[in-house]
């Protein structure tokens, strides 16, 4: 039996090489690579589901000398989401890119995918640095694929900010190694003790990550970079790449620095999150272009995720805390699906209309019922309306906030919810006009169905059938 | 650990930190791409400095190979990122003309 | 004129950060950390197939890092290629420079081979060797060789992918035969590391030179014209 | 799982699935769409009849699905939910027939009927909700499903109306959500239970519970169009006639009113609500709404707007019934849920017919329509007289029980409100009837459509109002018959006050 963990990282890598060597067959090879990658990653998730946490000691050395890959419930959940979204994005990209761009898209895309899987499975702090860089470089290169000056400038800025974040993270890793002499997450977690060193290392590492996660007010780089990228890339960047940084921050927070934490640090993250929710939603409401709207909404949604930190910090360990954590993960996963669906559908509308100025989208929105539906379904999940997964997640987070007496988080999240409703319906209202009735529901299956499916998963799948997530997350934590 | 080793580690590690701070300052203050890029590289050099300092265990003792390997890996990553960023910058310059 | 942000806020913030970092560093290295991983790593070097401890770490203990790092290098090159074709390059060198280049390039290639081999037991290895090869390419490019001595794109693509490919396939095959991903069987480690390093050296050299060109290499016929 | 456990889901899906399928249909698949619509409606009717029998016999139906720890989706049937389910099922069937006729040859019918079905599914979900979470879920789904219906025409007016509608209902939904979460944080999952669940709650959370009541009331009051949260209703009149009918008689306002009844009886419990003065507050709000709505209706010349303000006023009878302590008023309020639905939908169908056949949109244009469209006008007359409270039409029964209940509870001011409101009802409906029957017709109608054969209008448009008018009349005439709305409301009141 071959270990599925390294395969989930290596298969997309080999796929990327195949596309690099035979660019003429980029689409076919790329789709094949996407499929086997997704299968291998979902195998990991099902294995975790049925057998519990997995660990693979690469090279057979084991910690502390070697590097290990590890999958517990948390990583398996993010892995499954990322790979399903990436598969949908791949199918969409197969129909979206023309020949010349496809040559460049596919290898970089598979490399990015490899980095994502590597990041979710990594159990070594320095290895995480390498995956972060692989992620950052491939994401910036993909984001600039439209080739416009704005896209190149925005993604250059993204690249530099990402590098700064990585540097901060790496400095934290160096301090950790200096103080504790190990790099394996589990071993570091055992060695960490509260004190200035751990505190500084945590600040550097998580500080670097929130820069990459575009937490307000370090979000400035995100909207132009995500709004100017090609649609499938925007989807991946917004749904997966920033989520990966959040995942890592959560992972470090929970598994490594748990003893170091003070409520003050958690509250700071929460306050920044609240700022992101309000500011991001407001800017999304004011945005003139659909993709810019979607990008600002990403800023807002990252904010919701960081509001989880003060709630987690204030909840004593036990069932309530586990449920809260699961709710936060559910929120992140639903956002992943929904945001990808939104960007993919927006891409279709943009392609049909030739632009994405919201006020003039009437005809295109009316002519593409499936894409508009996808925007609607994704929108329901982004707003947090039932029956979406975000609704459940927000309900659980807010209930816990009220139990703790932290009612102000409820106010913040409700304000964000209403603003989100306003900006989503600003788009949807364009679909109701006097343009001719569309002929068919689906016009271009390979691009519209992935968007629709993502929206359906976010709104119905994770809303009605989220229960398995709780079981998955019970599968052992790191450390 | 002897005070000689400690002193050396602190000296080199401290200068690593100094490099990081200089790089960070330059990154924050200077707008042009090339300066930001150099700043990042200076920061990187500072971090590598720190790692190499940690690896030092005295004149007669072989150094810790792990940080050395990390630094080598880090350098290649930094070179790659720098190359890509320069290509971006070049593309912008060309478009600007 | 004093700009408050630039002259007061940022410097004072950085000074505070520096103090914090210095203090943390002091505490970290004076703490009870002992040898960190040094003794463990040095003790296992004899089992790694090479005697240079750094190479042991890079190509065996932490080989997975190195694999991903080669992927980072490839990503950078693919990213550069996606931004457009290479510029026109430098004008043809005069005879003196051309002569020097003609002498140095073979020397660099030779040194690269030496570096690669010596890495097994002394400082050196794939990256150093690859860097020398890359330097040879840069030198050719500076001397007006349009494609830095690299082959056409069709043949360059397999070359830059080679390092990651050999590395990854070795890893997967080792997993298939039962040892686990990148777990070298005893006795074969030395040769497998050499094969991986050789492939990596070629790829690194080609990638660095190609990255220096700053874009996709010109098509074959254009190369011939300039040559 | 047994069939009984599946029945609530089956009722929900009987309109949900056709709705989903209809979205996928091509625009010109007229026949298939009609088949899907009608099959769904008839299947649902059959299932509901089955359920009515079961509930009457004391059978319990419950489907429970765990969404997340502590969050269960519960669909269950008690007497109150069955009443609302039956109402929406019957009226959906009728409205579907009407809508098929009304929208013939208009664009975007697949989209329209898809959302139409989802809208009814959401209403049924609200009716069958077994806990507050489920109620909130379907309450929000209803908002989502009705927005496209209001915006359907795509004109700037429609866009504006839909925007206003959305702003109100989203705000209301947010308040309801806040209240529900707050309540659940205090007392755990809130299951709807006859007699309420808060009777034994500790003293120290009393103040919070009272605050939550008002938050919930504000959230529900938006859809129930309680003054001052009623602003969306007249604006939403831009929607096509069947939508207005559905919004006013079945779905939206009723969802709000039904929610108020649920919260008062099955969450807070009428004893708790009475003891803490919540009933009085609700009664005052309802009375203000009743009078305000009637006064505003008086000033409207647009027929649909007059009907809209009439809805504002009439729906609050339900809340009024809930606010009077005692089973008799409860009967009056609950039965009005059905009675108002039957009468109001008749009136809207007729208004749609006048507009469709003659282009008549205003009260001032209605001179002589009675002779031109006798059947439609007859149905209209039944609805209007019922609203005023003329026996033996259904509205009289509601008002009678409300008045009796108020007298029983010693709330004489409520009787004054009822009398004043009835006078106002008469003042805005009788002039219409006078114009319709006793004024001569103009030489030319505003926009007359060519007659089809001998009938005044197409059958699909004529039969629905006639049927609902007959139902409204029978509900009053045969109020004492078994399974009549009144009998059923009595059953509900007995169970709520069951002691």
- Comparing D247 with D205, the larger pLDDT belongs to D205
Residue C221: pLDDT band with limits 50, 70, 90: low
Q: How near does any CA of chain D get to the CA of A414, in Å?
A: 7
Domain range enclosing C14? 1-33
Q: What CA–CA distance (Å, rounded) separates D130 from A401?
A: 25
Using pLDDT thresholds of 50, 70 and 90, give the confidence band for residue D173: very high
| CA-closest candidate to residue C137, choices C157, C151, C118, C154 | C151
Confidence grade of residue C70 (pLDDT, cut at 50, 70, 90): very high
CA distance C144 to chain A (A): 27
Report the 10 Å Cβ neighbour count for D97: 21
Residue A457 maps to a domain: yes
Q: Is the CB of A213 inside 8 Å of chain C's CB atoms?
A: no
- Give chain A's mean pLDDT: 93
The dihedral built from the CA positions of residue A228, A375, D169 and A401, taken in this order, carries a sign that is negative
Asked if D114 and D20 count as a contact pair (C-beta separation under 8 A), the reply is yes
Chain A interface disruption, residue of B16, B26, B66, B94, most A CBs within 10 A:
B66
Q: Are C66 and C167 in contact (CB under 8 A)?
A: yes
| Chain A nearest-CA residue for C20 | A200
Chain A interface includes D73 (CB < 8 A): yes
Distance to chain B for C145, nearest Cα, Å: 20
Name which residue leads in pLDDT, C220 or B52. Answer: B52
A177: chain C residues, CB-CB within 8 Å:
36
ipTM summary value: 0.94
CA-nearest residue to A141 within chain B is B84
* C-beta separation of D391 from D474 below 8 A: no
Q: Is residue D67 part of a domain?
A: no
Which chain A residue is nearest to residue B37, measuring alpha carbons?
A160
D413 touches chain A (CB under 8 A): no
* Residue A312 belongs to some domain of the structure: yes
D110 shares contact with chain A (CB less than 8 Å): yes
The H-or-E segment that residue D484 falls in is none
In this prediction, residue A479 carries a pLDDT of 36
CB contact under 8 A, B88 and A152: yes
Q: What domain range includes position A381?
A: 270-479
Please report the pLDDT score of residue C224 as a whole number: 45
Number of domains in chain B: 1
Please give the distance of CA D153 from its chain centroid, rounded to a whole number.
Answer: 23
- How do beta strands D61-68 and D71-77 pair? antiparallel
Is the CB of residue D318 less than 8 Å from the CB of residue D334? yes
Q: Which of D306, D293, D246, D291 is nearest to D429 (CA)?
A: D306
Mutate to test the interface with C, among A1, A3, A8, A10 (most CBs of C within 10 A): A10
Whether A221 shows a pLDDT value over 50: the answer reads yes
Residue identified by tokens 């909840």 is A315
The CA distance from D389 to D313, in Å, is: 13
Please compute the mean of the pLDDT values over residues D336-353 and round it to a whole number.
94
- Report the CATH number at residue B72: 1.10.287
Instruction: Look up residue A257 and give its DSSP letter.
Output: S
Q: Comparing C-alpha atoms, which of A192, A205, A176 is closest to residue C25?
A: A176
CA atoms within 13 A of residue D149's CA, in its CB half-sphere? 27
Of B13, B77, B90, which is closest to C29 when you measure between CB atoms?
Answer: B13
Q: Do B17 and C18 touch (CB under 8 A)?
A: yes
Which residues have C-beta within 8 Å of that of residue A438, sequence separation ≥ 6?
A366, A367, A368, A369, D27
In a domain, A203, yes or no: no
Q: How many Cα atoms sit within 13 Å of C47 on the Cβ side?
A: 13
Do C127 and C176 fall into the same domain? yes
The span from the CA of D352 to the CA of D241, in Å, is 5
Q: Which residue of A has its CA nearest to B31?
A: A157
CA–CA separation, A90 and D95 (whole Å): 44
pLDDT per position as a tens digit, D13-59:
999 999 999 999 888 888 999 999 999 999 999 999 999 999 888 88
| CA dist., res. B40 & res. A337, Å (int) | 34
* Separation between Cα atoms, residue A188 and residue A125, nearest integer Å: 9
The CB-side HSE value for A73 (13 A sphere, CA atoms) comes to: 19
* Residue C142 tokens, joined: 């500076």
Residue C38 to residue B86, Cβ atoms within 8 A: no
Phi-psi region at D64: left, alpha or beta (left = phi > 0; alpha = psi -120 to 50): beta
**SS3 sequence of B25-37:** HHHHHCCCHHHHH
Chain A residues inside the 8 Å CB shell of C169:
14
How far apart CA D108 and CA D110 sit, in angstroms, is 6
Query: pLDDT tens for residues D375-421?
Result: 999 999 999 999 999 988 999 999 999 999 999 988 889 999 999 99
| Distance, CA of D353 to CA of D361 (rounded, Å) | 10
- Among D285, D278, D273, D150, smallest CA distance to D221 is for D285
Alpha carbons B16 and B35: distance in angstroms, whole number: 19
Chain A: closest CA distance from residue D282 (Å): 26
Q: H-type helices in D410-482, by residue range?
A: 412-438, 459-477
Q: Tell me the shortest Cα–Cα distance from B62 to chain A, in angstroms.
A: 16
At D191 the pLDDT is 93
Q: How many Å apart are CA C125 and CA C106, to the nearest integer?
A: 19
Asked if residue C200 and residue C164 are part of one domain, the reply reads: yes
- List the end-to-end C-alpha distance of chain D, in Å, as a whole number: 33
B34 contacts chain C (CB < 8 A): no
For residues A70-108, one letter each, b for 16 or more C-beta atoms within 10 angstroms of the residue's C-beta and e for the rest, the string is bbbbbbbbbbbbbbbbbbbbbbbbbbbbeeebbbbbbbb
Q: Is the pLDDT of residue C61 over 90?
A: yes
B contacts of C127 (beta carbons < 8 Å): 72, 75-76
H-helix or E-strand containing A431?
none
* Cα gap A109→A97, rounded to integer Å: 12
- C108 and C138 co-located in one domain: yes
Check C37 against B28: CB less than 8 A apart. no
Query: What average pLDDT does chain C have?
Result: 90
Per-residue pLDDT, averaged over C154-173, amounts to 95
Q: What is the pLDDT of residues A287-304, one digit of tens each?
A: 999 999 999 999 999 999
Residue D72: beta bridge partners? D66
Q: Residues D240, D201: contact at Cβ < 8 Å? A: no
The reply to whether D294 falls in a domain is yes
What's the pLDDT score for residue D202? Answer: 85
Measured CA to CA in angstroms, residue C77 lies from A327, C84, D279 at distances of: 40, 12, 73
Tell me what pLDDT residue A477 has: 53
Does residue C13 sit in the same domain as residue C64? no
Cα(first)–Cα(last) distance of chain B, in Å?
Answer: 59
CA–CA dist D90, D15 (Å, integer): 13
Structure tokens at D495: 């169970």
In chain A, whose CA is at the least distance from the CA of B24? A164
Q: For residue A444, give the 3-state DSSP assignment.
A: coil
- CA–CA separation, A389 vs A395, rounded Å? 10
Range of the domain at B32: 3-96
Q: Is D114 exposed, middle or buried (0-12, 13-18, 19+ CB in 10 A)?
A: buried
CA distances C227 to A366, C220, D5, Å, are 57, 11, 83
Per-residue confidence (pLDDT) for residue C227, from 0 to 100: 36
C75 contacts A111 by C-beta, under 8 angstroms: yes
Which residues of chain C are within 8 Å of residue B42 when distances are taken between CB atoms? none
Q: Do residues A257 and A151 lie in contact, with contact meaning Cβ atoms separated by under 8 Å?
A: no
Contacts of B62 (CB under 8 A, 6+ apart): C38, C42, C53
User: Is residue C226 classed exposed, middle or buried when 0-12, 13-18 and 19+ CB atoms within 10 A define those classes?
Assistant: middle
Q: Neighbours of D (≥3 Cβ pairs closer than 8 A)?
A: A
Interface of D with A in 155-174 (CB under 8 A): 155, 158-159, 162-163, 166, 170-171, 173-174
Number of domains in chain A: 1
Give domain status of residue D4, yes or no: no
Number of domains in chain D: 1
Are residues C48 and C19 part of one domain? no
Average pLDDT of the residues in A48-61 = 92
Q: Considering the domain boundaries, does residue A384 fall inside one?
A: yes
Check residue C7 and report its DSSP letter: I
What percent of the residues of chain C are helix, what percent strand, and what percent coil, each to the nearest 5? 70, 0, 25
Give the model's pLDDT for residue C225.
42
E strands in A227-319: none
Report whether C136 contacts C149 (CB < 8 A): yes
B5 touching A (Cβ < 8 Å): no
Q: Are strands A67-71 and A54-58 parallel, antiparallel or unpaired?
A: antiparallel
D133 vs A28: CA distance, rounded Å: 47
Distance, CA of A115 to CA of A282 (rounded, Å): 33
Clarify whether residues C131 and C215 are in a common domain. yes
Q: Is residue D51 within 8 Å of D86, Cβ to Cβ?
A: no
Rounded to a whole number, what is the distance in Å from the CA of A360 to chain D's nearest CA? 14
* Predicted confidence (pLDDT) per residue in D142-151, tens digit: 999 999 999 9
Does the residue D366 lie in any domain? yes
Domain count, chain C: 2
Instruction: Please indicate whether, in this complex, the C-beta atoms of C14 and B24 are within 8 angstroms of each other.
Output: yes
Nearest to B66 among C18, C57, C212 (CB): C57
Report residue B63 as tokens.
């150094």
Rounded CA gap, D436 and D366, in Å? 6
State which H helix or E strand residue A31 sits in.
helix A26-51
- Who contacts D248 (Cβ-Cβ below 8 Å, separation ≥6)? D233, D307, D308, D311, D344, D345, D348
- Position with higher pLDDT, A3 vs D37: D37
Tell me how long chain D is: 499
Beta-bridge mates of residue D362: D302
Q: Is C10 in contact with B73 (Cβ distance < 8 A)?
A: no
A237 in a domain, yes or no?
no
Q: Contact D107/A403, CB-based, under 8 Å?
A: no
Cβ contact A74:A475 at 8 Å: no
Closest Cα of chain D to A433: distance in Å?
A: 4
* Cα–Cα distance for residue pair A37/A197, rounded to 1 Å: 39
Residue C216 corresponds to which tokens in the numbers above?
A: 């996709």
Tens digits of per-residue pLDDT, A173-187? 999 999 999 999 999
């Amino acid at each position: 039996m071959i270990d599925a963990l390294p395969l989930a990282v290596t298969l997309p890598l080999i796929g990327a090489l195949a596309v690099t060597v035979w660019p003429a067959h980029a689409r076919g090879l790329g789709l094949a690579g996407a499929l086997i990658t997704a299968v291998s990653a979902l195998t990991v998730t099902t294995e975790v589901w049925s057998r519990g946490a997995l660990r693979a000691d690469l090279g057979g050395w084991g910690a502390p000398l070697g590097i290990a890959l590890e999958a517990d419930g948390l990583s398996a959940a993010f892995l499954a989401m990322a790979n399903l979204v990436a598969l949908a994005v791949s199918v969409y990209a197969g129909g979206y890119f023309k020949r010349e761009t496809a040559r460049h898209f596919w290898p970089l895309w598979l490399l990015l995918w490899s980095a994502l899987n590597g990041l979710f499975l990594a159990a070594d702090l320095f290895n995480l640095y390498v995956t972060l860089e692989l992620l950052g470089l491939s994401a910036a290169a993909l984001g600039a694929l439209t080739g416009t000056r704005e896209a190149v400038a925005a993604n250059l800025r993204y690249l530099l900010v990402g590098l700064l974040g990585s540097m901060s993270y790496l400095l934290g890793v160096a301090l950790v190694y200096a103080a504790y002499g190990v790099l394996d997450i589990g071993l570091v977690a055992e060695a960490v003790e509260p004190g200035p060193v751990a505190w500084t290392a945590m600040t550097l590492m998580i500080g670097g990550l929130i820069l990459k996660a575009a937490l307000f007010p370090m979000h400035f780089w995100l909207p132009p970079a995500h709004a100017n990228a090609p649609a499938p890339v925007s989807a991946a960047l917004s749904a997966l790449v920033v989520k990966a940084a959040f995942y890592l921050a959560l992972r470090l927070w929970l598994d490594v620095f748990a003893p170091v934490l003070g409520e003050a640090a958690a509250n700071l993250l929460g306050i920044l999150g609240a700022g992101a929710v309000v500011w991001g939603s407001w800017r999304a409401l004011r945005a003139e272009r659909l993709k810019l709207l979607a990008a600002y909404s990403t800023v807002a949604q990252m904010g919701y995720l960081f509001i989880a930190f003060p709630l987690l910090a204030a909840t004593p360990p036990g069932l309530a805390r586990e449920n809260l954590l699961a709710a936060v993960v559910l929120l992140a996963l639903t956002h992943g699906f929904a945001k990808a669906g939104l960007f993919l559908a927006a891409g279709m509308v943009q392609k049909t209309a030739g632009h994405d100025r919201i006020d003039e989208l009437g005809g295109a929105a009316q002519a593409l019922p499936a894409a508009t539906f996808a925007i609607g379904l994704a929108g329901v999940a982004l707003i947090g309306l039932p029956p979406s997964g975000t609704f459940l997640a927000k309900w659980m987070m807010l209930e816990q906030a009220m139990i703790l007496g932290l009612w102000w988080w409820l106010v913040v999240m409700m304000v964000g919810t209403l603003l989100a409703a306003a900006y989503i319906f600003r788009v949807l209202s364009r679909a109701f006009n006097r343009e001719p009735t569309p002929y068919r529901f689906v016009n271009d299956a390979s691009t519209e169905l992935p968007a629709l499916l993502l929206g359906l998963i976010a709104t119905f799948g994770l809303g009605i059938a989220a229960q398995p997530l709780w079981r998955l997350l019970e599968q052992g934590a790191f450390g | 650990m002897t005070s000689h080793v400690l002193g050396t580690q602190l000296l080199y590690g401290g200068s690593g930190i100094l490099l990081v701070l200089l790089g960070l300052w330059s990154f924050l203050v200077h707008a042009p791409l090339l300066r930001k890029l150099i700043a990042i590289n200076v920061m990187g050099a500072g971090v590598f400095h720190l790692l190499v300092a940690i690896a030092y265990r005295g004149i007669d003792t072989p150094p810790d190979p792990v940080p050395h390997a990390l630094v080598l890996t880090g350098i290649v990553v930094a070179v790659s990122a720098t190359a890509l960023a320069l290509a971006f910058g070049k593309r912008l310059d060309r478009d600007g003309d | 004129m004093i700009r408050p942000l630039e002259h007061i806020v940022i410097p004072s913030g950085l000074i505070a950060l520096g103090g914090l970092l210095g203090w943390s560093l002091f505490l970290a290295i004076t703490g009870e950390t002992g040898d960190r991983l040094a003794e463990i790593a040095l003790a296992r070097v004899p089992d790694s197939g090479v005697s240079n401890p750094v190479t042991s770490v890079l190509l065996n203990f932490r080989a997975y890092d190195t694999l991903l790092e080669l992927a980072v290098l490839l990503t950078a090159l693919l990213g550069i290629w996606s931004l457009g074709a290479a510029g026109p390059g430098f004008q043809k060198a005069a005879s003196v420079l051309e002569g020097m280049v003609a002498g140095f390039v073979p020397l660099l290639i030779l040194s690269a081979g030496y570096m690669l081999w010596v890495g097994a037991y002394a400082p050196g290895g794939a990256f150093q060797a690859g860097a020398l090869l890359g330097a040879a390419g840069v030198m050719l490019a500076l001397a007006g060789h349009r494609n830095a001595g690299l082959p056409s794109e069709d043949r360059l693509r397999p070359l830059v992918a080679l390092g990651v490919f050999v590395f990854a396939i070795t890893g997967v095959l080792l997993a298939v035969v039962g040892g686990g991903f990148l777990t070298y069987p005893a006795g074969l480690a030395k040769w497998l590391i050499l094969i991986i390093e050789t492939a990596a050296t070629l790829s690194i050299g080609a990638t660095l030179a190609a990255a220096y060109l700053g874009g996709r290499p010109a098509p074959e016929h254009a190369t011939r014209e300039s040559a | 799982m047994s069939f009984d456990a599946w029945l609530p889901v089956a009722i929900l899906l009987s309109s949900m699935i056709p709705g989903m399928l209809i979205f996928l249909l091509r625009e010109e698949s007229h026949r298939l769409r009609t088949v899907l619509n009608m099959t769904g409606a008839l299947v649902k009717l059959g299932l509901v009849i089955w359920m009515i029998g079961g509930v009457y016999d004391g059978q319990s139906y419950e489907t429970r699905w765990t969404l997340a720890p502590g969050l269960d989706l519960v669909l269950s049937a008690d007497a109150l939910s069955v009443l609302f389910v039956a109402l929406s099922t019957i009226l959906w069937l009728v409205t579907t027939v009407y809508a098929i006729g009304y929208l013939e040859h208009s664009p975007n019918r697949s989209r329209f009927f898809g959302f139409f079905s989802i809208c009814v599914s959401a209403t049924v979900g609200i009716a069958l909700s077994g806990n507050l979470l489920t109620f909130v879920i379907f309450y929000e789904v209803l908002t989502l499903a009705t927005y496209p219906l209001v915006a359907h025409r795509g004109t700037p007016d429609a866009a504006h109306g839909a925007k206003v509608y959305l702003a109100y209902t989203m705000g209301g939904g947010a308040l309801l959500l806040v209240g529900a979460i707050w309540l659940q944080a205090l007392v755990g999952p809130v299951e709807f239970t006859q007699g309420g669940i808060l009777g034994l709650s500790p003293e120290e959370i009393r103040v919070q519970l009272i605050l939550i009541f008002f938050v919930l009331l504000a959230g529900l009051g938006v859809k129930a169009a309680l003054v001052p949260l009623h602003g969306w209703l007249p604006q939403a009149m831009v929607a096509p006639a069947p939508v207005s009918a559905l919004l006013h008689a079945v779905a939206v306002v009723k969802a709000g009113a039904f929610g108020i009844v649920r919260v008062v009886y099955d969450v807070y419990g009428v004893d708790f609500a009475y003891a803490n003065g919540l009933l009085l507050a609700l009664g005052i709000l309802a009375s203000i709404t009743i009078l305000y709505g009637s006064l505003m209706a008086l000033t409207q010349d647009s027929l649909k707007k007059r009907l809209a303000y009439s809805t504002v006023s009439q729906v609050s009878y339900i809340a009024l019934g809930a606010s009077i302590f005692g089973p008799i008023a409860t009967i009056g309020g609950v039965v009005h849920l059905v009675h108002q639905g039957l009468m109001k939908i008749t009136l809207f169908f007729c208004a749609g017919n006048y507009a469709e056949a003659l282009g008549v949109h205003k009260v001032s244009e209605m001179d002589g329509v009675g002779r031109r469209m006798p059947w439609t006008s007859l149905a209209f007359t039944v609805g209007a007289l019922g609203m005023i409270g003329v026996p033996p039409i259904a509205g009289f029964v509601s008002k009678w029980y409300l008045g009796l209940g108020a007298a029983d509870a010693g709330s004489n001011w409520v009787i004054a409100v009822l009398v004043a409101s009835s006078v106002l009802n008469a003042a805005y409906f009788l002039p219409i009837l006078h114009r319709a029957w006793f004024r001569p017709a103009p030489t030319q109608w505003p926009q007359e459509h060519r007659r089809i054969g001998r009938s005044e209008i197409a059958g699909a448009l004529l039969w629905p109002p006639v049927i609902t008018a007959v139902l409204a009349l029978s509900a009053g005439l045969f109020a004492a018959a078994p399974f009549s709305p009144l009998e059923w409301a009595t059953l509900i009141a007995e169970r709520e006050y069951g002691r």
